[in-house]
């Protein structure tokens, strides 16, 4: 049976990515060696690193003055690396979910944190609006897509201070105006590659303004100077990332992906709103086009685990919601096809008919 992967992360990758990665595990770039065992200093791997950086710049239209890095430690390490490198006295954070909470916790180790707005009181089911960002903060940090709660900020904010965003679960899902940002970071395991590498796009002139000593490995400038080769980079995930980026380019780039993502999300939300069994959990205007969260309507609550099993029987894997929301979450990242979303919709309709 065909399986449809709705896991939130690690999550679906394109068949192109998986096939080319598997080929390189057997024979990388005609070297007769596996990508798993080749030196990161070999000319073949150096070429991969350079091409991957160039592809990120091309797809996201990264302007001059920015560097593209591939680092270890996951997005979670960026929660501390960002304030380590940028926070002098005070930073502003938007609290929109679990990952934002984690980022705030780390920033507090380095200075004052002004949580400008929060939707915590409503279990993060919406994005706060109309908040003000003080002029005297070193930067403003927000999570563009709240993977667990299914809310998303899809417009690059206009702010007067430096701007930092955790885009782990929606990078490459739409065009972004990189010039508005000072740091963008994203763990690879949602829209890019297998787990193990984090993409960081950093504006060089945002660095070097703090007084504190920064450990070598946690200083962005170390990795800029060495082209992400200060120490051994995660070679395999970077190779996979390159395949994904080539695939995205072949589809027409991020503008084309955005159109596809909007279409997929729209038909799935339409079904959630129409189907008598289900209801969405996120505020309609803030609904994510990457992670679609929904629950059973109150009168059908007892059917919840039955639906997960029913869906599994139809090849739908990973739709159980995160424990902090419950219900279901269909992660429909870039690599999820419209056909996969249609298969889920058909499953929801069939389950409705049976009840």
Ligand X SMILES: *Cc1c(COP(=O)(O)O)cnc(C)c1O
Pairing of strands 151-152, 163-166: unpaired
Which residues pair with residue 329 across a beta bridge?
293
Q: Does 228 bind ligand X (CB under 6 A)?
A: no
Contacts of 223 (CB under 8 A, 6+ apart): 69, 71, 200, 230
Q: Does 11 bind ligand X (CB under 6 A)?
A: no
Q: Which of these segments, 21-29, 73-81, 115-123, 272-280, binds ligand X (CB under 6 A)?
A: 73-81
To the question of whether residue 189 is assigned a binding role by annotation, the answer is: yes
Nearer to ligand X, 8 or 277 (CB): 8
Using CA atoms, how far apart are residues 114 and 295, in angstroms rounded to an integer? Answer: 33
Q: Does 76 bind ligand X (CB under 6 A)?
A: yes
CA angle 203, 206, 211 (to 5 degrees): 145
Q: Does 286 bind ligand X (CB under 6 A)?
A: no
Q: Which of 138, 166, 170, 286 is catalytic?
A: 166
Please pick, from the candidates 187, 233, 237, 321, the single residue that binds ligand X as defined by CB under 6 A. 187
Question: 235-251 and 15-26 helices cross at what angle (nearest 10)?
Answer: 140
Q: Does 166 bind ligand X (CB under 6 A)?
A: yes
Please pick, from the candidates 6, 9, 56, 138, the single residue that binds ligand X as defined by CB under 6 A. 9
Using CA atoms, how far apart are residues 61 and 179, in angstroms rounded to an integer? Answer: 9
Q: 149: burial class by Cβ within 10 Å (0-12, 13-18, 19+)?
A: buried
Q: Which residue has the tokens 């302007």?
A: 63
Minimum gap (Å) between residue 88 Cβ and ligand X:
24
* Window 99-138: contact mask with ligand X (x via CB under 6 A): x---------------------------------------
Q: Does 337 bind ligand X (CB under 6 A)?
A: no
Pick out the residues of the known binding site: 41, 75-76, 99, 147, 166, 189, 231-232
Active site residues: 99, 166, 190
């Amino acid at each position: 049976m065909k399986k449809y992967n709705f896991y939130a992360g690690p999550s679906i990758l394109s068949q192109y990515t998986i096939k080319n990665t598997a080929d390189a595990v057997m024979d990388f770039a005609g070297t007769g060696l596996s990508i798993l065992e080749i030196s990161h200093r070999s000319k073949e791997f150096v070429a991969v690193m350079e091409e991957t950086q160039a592809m990120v710049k091309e797809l996201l239209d990264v302007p001059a003055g920015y560097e593209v890095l591939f680092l270890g430690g996951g997005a979670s390490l960026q929660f501390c690396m960002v304030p380590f490198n940028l926070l002098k006295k005070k930073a502003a954070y938007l609290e929109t979910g679990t990952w934002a909470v984690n980022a705030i916790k780390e920033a507090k180790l380095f200075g004052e944190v002004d949580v400008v707005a929060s939707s915590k009181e409503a279990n993060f089911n919406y994005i706060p609006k109309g908040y003000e960002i003080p002029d005297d903060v070193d930067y403003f940090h927000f999570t563009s897509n709240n993977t667990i709660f299914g809310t998303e900020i899809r417009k690059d904010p206009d702010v007067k201070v430096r701007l930092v965003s955790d885009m782990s679960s929606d990078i490459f899902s739409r065009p972004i105006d990189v010039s508005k940002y000072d740091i963008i970071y994203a763990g690879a395991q949602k829209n890019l590659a297998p787990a193990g590498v984090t993409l960081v796009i950093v504006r060089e002139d945002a660095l070097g303004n703090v007084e504190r000593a920064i450990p070598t490995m946690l200083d962005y400038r170390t990795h800029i100077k060495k082209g992400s080769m200060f120490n051994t980079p995660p070679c395999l995930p970077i190779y996979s990332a390159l395949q994904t980026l080539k695939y995205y380019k072949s589809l027409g780039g991020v503008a084309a992906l955005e159109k596809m993502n909007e279409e997929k999300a729209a038909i799935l939300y339409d079904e959630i709103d129409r189907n008598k069994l289900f209801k969405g959990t996120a505020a309609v205007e803030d609904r994510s086009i990457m992670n679609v969260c929904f629950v059973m309507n109150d009168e059908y609550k007892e059917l919840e685990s039955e639906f997960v099993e029913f869906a599994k029987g139809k090849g739908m894997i990973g739709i159980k919601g995160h424990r902090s929301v419950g219900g279901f979450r269909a992660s429909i990242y870039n690599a999820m096809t419209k056909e996969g979303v249609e298969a889920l919709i058909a499953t929801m309709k069939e389950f409705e008919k049976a009840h």
